[in-house]
Amino acid sequence: MNNLETHHWIVDKNSSELTSNPQIKNAAMWISRGEVVAFPTETVYGLGANALSDQAISKIYEAKGRPSDNPLIVHISNINQLNKLVKNIPAVSQKLMDSFWPGPLTIIFESNSVVSPKVTAGLQTVAIRMPDHPVALALIEAADVPVAAPSANLSGKPSPTNADHVLHDLNGRIAGVVDGGATGVGVESTVIDCTCTPPIILRPGGVTREEIEAVIGSVAVDKALLEKDEAPKSPGMKYTHYAPKAPLYIVDGPRDFIQKLIDEEHQNGKKVGMLTTEENKQNYNADIVITCGYREDLKTVAHHLYDSLRAFDEEKIDIIFSESFPQTGVGEAVMNRLSKAAGGNIIKE
């Protein structure tokens, strides 16, 4: 599937009247024709297609090389679109929408079966969010359909945080990419299932558990986040992904223990990469040392995580070690994504 002309529409997210912007209107036209278009959100770039069309959704799976038993998140630009897709809006969902929409929170509702069954992967529920990005909202509004969109990368690769990442993975495989600059949060949205009591967080992300509980009280956490053998129920959590080309290992231990691992790999003739923070970058003697932000501010780590993982692919690295991070606040999402990228491989002292 490498025979499409992939358009590159550059849009200033600060422009006025984005819905009528010629670039946005052109991209929206391709979505309305049933084609796949990548676009920026506040989390990562999404790969969007008409959520009501079986044929259009099939093109997402084909472009990504993603198994079709993995459900997708539907992106909307207004509440009227939500009302047309769900059976009801529970009170707890309304509280979350009032607090976090538009924003990086995906809420799972009971589906009324209007969206394509290829979006829900056969489930009776549908995952929906309203992105907090002016270009995303304008594109969805101009297309005048709800837009299903996983991350705009080849399945298994780190999610894209700028248009160049999208073109690297998908040039020739999709109709186009709307280039609205770099994304903000850097990791995908939090996913919470509000069809059960208490609500269950299925994927940690841009809205933290602490922020959610401050609004609706205690929530549960999907066992699949805690136990490796549990089958996850959330979009984007079923298969190992976010992974760089070289094998990645998370190390739970002090810096001298990590350096010992690096030295052992050097003795075996391996070229070693190290993923660390600005505070610790001087402490490692590796072939390539890449920083992903500041340990004192885990939001910066979330923002740069995927870009850092992709940076290793530019080097001929044999193995990558990564520091571990505190699993509080957005650190929970950081460690979840790192663990997926590492295939669950964690080395403890």
Domain annotation for the chain: domains and CATH numbers: 7-226 (3.90.870.10), 248-348 (3.40.50.11030)
- pLDDT level of residue 3 (50, 70, 90 thresholds): confident
Per-residue burial over 327-341, b if 16 or more Cβ lie within 10 Å, else e, is eebbbbbbbbbbbbb
Binding positions: 43, 66, 70, 75, 125, 129, 149, 151, 159, 189, 203, 242
Binding positions for ATP: 66, 70, 125, 151, 159, 203, 242
What is the per-residue pLDDT for 235?
Answer: 58
pTM, two decimals, is 0.92
Binding positions for L-threonine: 43, 75, 129, 149, 189
Tokens read off for 303: 């923002």
pLDDT at 227 over 60: no
- Mean per-residue pLDDT, 279-308: 96
Q: 242-292, pLDDT tens digit by residue?
A: 889 999 999 999 999 999 999 999 999 999 999 999 999 999 999 999 999
